[in-house]
Amino acid sequence: EGQLVESGGGLSQPGGSLRLSCAASGFSVSVNYMSWVRQAQGKGLEWVSVIYTAGQTYDADSVQGRFAISRDDSQNTLYLQMNSLRVEDTAVYYCARGIGPYAFDVWGQGTLVTVSS
Amino acid sequence: QSALTQPASVSGSPGQSITMSCTGTTSEFGNYNLVSWYQQHPGKAPKLLIYEASKRPSGVSDRFSGSKSGKTASLTITRLQADDEAHYYCCSYVGTYVRVFGGGTKLTVL
């Protein structure tokens, strides 16, 4: 079925940057829709970004212009570049494989991002 | 504020059936069967239960079923078990390339 392993989370000050990675095994990120989904402590799930097989990317309004999703097909890895971080970006970030463009069938274990001064 | 509305909580006894709803506001939600459902236990990653409103991935119990009528999608769980106690989230395409999750429903097995 495949596996996803996120890394790169940690502590950042407001206004700072972090890059999350998501290494895939058992399938190729290049032929799947891949997304990032986040969850603040005690809160619900929030879709963040998606990259289509042809490379188009789309983002939630809350991160538009600050976050950028990308992938490295040779490394079979998905990325999320997060700039201009805000306190409200604090959350566990999950990468997820799409079953079609609109549902997510394989999830990573998540990586925690904390934005605080 | 989420474009998908779910009840905050539902409950049922072991062996019973429950149904939870997910109501959308956009015409895209109403016109397309692109809603999916996820189960999340505390401290765990979400698990896909239903996609495209009523399709069940391989390996998911047939106790879980989904349906959609107009701007309301539903998840039904039959023969409730203690391990079904979890949060459940719906998700859907709602237009302009955006996907949205509902606020989630906490299922309590009494």
Model confidence pLDDT, tens digit, residues B32-78: 899 999 999 999 999 999 999 999 999 999 999 999 999 999 999 99
Q: Which residues of A touch B102 (CB under 8 A)?
A: 44
* Contact at CB, A44 and B104, closer than 8 angstroms: yes
* Contact at CB, A104 and B38, closer than 8 angstroms: yes
Which of A44, A58, A94 has its CB closest to that of B45? A94
DSSP secondary structure letter of residue B79? S
pLDDT band at A75 (very low <50, low <70, confident <90, very high): very high
* Contact at CB, B99 and A102, closer than 8 angstroms: yes
Distance CA B99, CA B79 (A): 31
pLDDT of residue A92: 98
Diameter of chain A measured on Cα atoms: 40
pLDDT of residue A109: 97
pLDDT band at A87 (very low <50, low <70, confident <90, very high): very high
Distance CA A117, CA B21 (A): 40
**Residue A81: in which H helix or E strand, if any?**
strand A77-82
Q: Does A108 touch chain B (CB under 8 A)?
A: yes
* Contact at CB, B46 and A109, closer than 8 angstroms: no
**Which of B57, B75, B84 shows the shortest CA–CA distance to B4?**
B75
Query: By the 8 A CB rule, do B86 and B107 touch?
Result: yes
**Residue B30: in which H helix or E strand, if any?**
helix B27-31
Q: Distance, in angstroms, between A42 CA and closest chain B CA?
A: 10
pLDDT of residue B92: 93
Q: Which residues of A touch B40 (CB under 8 A)?
A: 45
Q: Does A5 touch chain B (CB under 8 A)?
A: no
pLDDT band at B1 (very low <50, low <70, confident <90, very high): very low
Mode of pairing for the β-strands spanning B4-5 and B86-95: unpaired
pLDDT of residue A24: 98
pLDDT band at B20 (very low <50, low <70, confident <90, very high): very high
pLDDT band at B87 (very low <50, low <70, confident <90, very high): very high
Which of A102, A104, A108 has its CB closest to that of B34? A102
